[in-house]
Structures are given as structure tokens and as C-alpha cells.
Amino acid sequence: MAFGSPARAKNDDLRGKVVLITGAGAGIGAATARHLTREGARLALVDRDAAALKAIAAELSGDTATFLADVTDAAAVTTAVDTAIEHFGGIDVVIANAGIIGPIETVRTMSAEAFERVIDVNVFGVARTVRAALPSIIEREGYVLVIASAAAAIPTPSFAAYGVSKAGAESFGRSLRMELTETGATAGVAYFGLIDTGMVRDELLNGTGLEAMMATLPSAFGQPVPAEDAARAIVDGIKRRGRFICAPRYITVLISIRTLVALAEPLIARNTKLRAAIRRADRMVTAAASRAGQ
């Protein structure tokens, strides 16, 4: 049975729909799985961490199956998706969520290998996942959700690879949506700000200097919000087959005024807290290299 059509404004009933989520072992992926199981969806959970998959699956009471795969491994992704299709009979929704932030380093100091790994996970990993699931999505007139970020619309100094990757993921999702226009399937893009996940808490805002800059912003903008906020936005977006999904709410405005943000970049670049964070990123790498050479 078809999931719906792009013209349909909303489909509240997710009972029995098969949703595949990558990066499902923690953070936004795990929170989304919890919300979807309460909606009666059947879940195919994909992650590279077997223990994390086992833990989240044990929490869920609905029809759930787990599949071990690293999205940088094309063969493993294809096998996981094909096995999920065989297990459930098809896929109605795919959420390409797996992602990493990479080292907090400037372009000057970041290694080529580290930079390219971020692109591999966040862009190629999304493409591998979607391409594997797409025949089933089209057959069932389903929905693809690409998890991008507010970083797709704003500069990300000291973690440029992440910004590059999320801009690429956004473009992929928007292009895919146009390609699917006549198929009955469709696609959306999710843009999230600071979400309280391990990636944000332990990597982005843990002694990098960026937390000092965030502290100067109003609390509504500078403090991470719970992963459940993103999960609720995703579930609502799936129901309405949304083109754009945003959390927190102010991200909607940010995405809408990205041209104005671009015009303000010279002023933003002079922010003293931002300059300090960039210098700190350079110093940390230089110091580490010096220690390694001793």
C-alpha cells in the first residue's frame, strides 16, 4: 500500500509503516526511534555500534529489527538495506541520519584524511543509504528525510568540513525531491541547531572555545535543546511529508534569511569570541604536533 503522495498535506497514521534510520544507536536517531515506536511504526535500525543498537532495541516495544553497518562501507549499507527490505517487505521512510562532526580544527591544520572522512560519512553515507533504499521508497510512494543542519546555511569556522558536508547533504535532498516529483515519493531536509547529543556536548562544546562564543548569545540560541525536540520535529515532518524540518523553531528563520547572514559574514568574522575559538583550534593542533615530535 502506498504511503501517500507529495500533494497530500498530512498523513497522521504511521502505524505499520516501515522506517529505516541510520545512526540509530544514539542521539537524534535513537530519540526518533523512541517516538516512532510510540506511533506504531515498524523500525529498521542501522548503526555501526552493535552495543548501542542492542541497547536501543531493548527499549522499544514495537516491531524492530537491527542491522549493523558503517555508512562509509557501501557493501555493508546495501546489505543492511536489502536485508531490512526482505525482513519487512519494503521501506516506507528512510531517515539518513548518521553523521559525525570531525575534529575541531581549522582548514589549515586539519589533515586531509580527517576532512575527507567527514565528507564520506555525512555526504557519501547519506547517498549510499538513500540509493539503496530508493527503489522500495518509490515503489511504496514513500518519503526520504536527509538530516542536514543549520550549518548548511552558515559558516562553520574551526569545523569547516562539517559545514561543507551538511551543505552537500542539503543539496542532495533538495535535488532528490525534484527528481521524485512524478513518482509519488518525495524527500525532505532537516535543519537542526544545537541539539543535546554526545556529538554536540562532548565534541563541539567541550573545551573547544566555541562554547564561550555560544555563551554570549541569548539562552534560546546558545544552549542545546533536548534530542527529543528534534525527534518530535522529525515525526511531525514525516507525517506531513515536509520539505523542510527545523528545530529549534528559530532555525526556520535562520534558513529563510541565509542571504542576510551571508552579507553579515565580515562583521561576524570579527567577533572576538569567534576569533579566540579559531586561534584556540590552531594552538591545540600545533601543540599536539609539537608533543608528537618530541
What is the distance between the alpha carbons of residues 103 and 118, in angstroms, rounded to a whole number?
9
- Write down the H helix ranges in the chain: 27-38, 50-59, 74-88, 112-119, 125-139, 160-179, 198, 210-215, 219-222, 227-240, 250-256, 258-263, 265-269, 272-293
User: Are 68 and 80 contacting, i.e. CB atoms less than 8 angstroms apart?
Assistant: yes
Question: Is residue 163 classed as helix, strand or coil in its secondary structure?
Answer: helix
Active-site residues: which are they? 162
Q: Locate 157 and state its grid cell.
A: 569556522
What is the distance between the alpha carbons of residues 283 and 274, in angstroms, rounded to a whole number?
14
Rounded alpha-carbon distances, angstroms, from residue 120 to 100, 169, 172: 10, 11, 14
**Across the chain, how many H-helices and E-strands are there?**
14, 9
User: Are 95 and 29 contacting, i.e. CB atoms less than 8 angstroms apart?
Assistant: yes
Going by their DSSP bridges, the two strands 195-196 and 93-96 should be labelled as: unpaired
Partnered with residue 21 across adjacent β-strands are: 45, 95
DSSP type of residue 63: S
User: Are 103 and 149 contacting, i.e. CB atoms less than 8 angstroms apart?
Assistant: no
Torsions phi, psi of 239, nearest 5?
-60, -40
User: Are 69 and 45 contacting, i.e. CB atoms less than 8 angstroms apart?
Assistant: no
The residue assigned the cell 528563520 is 253
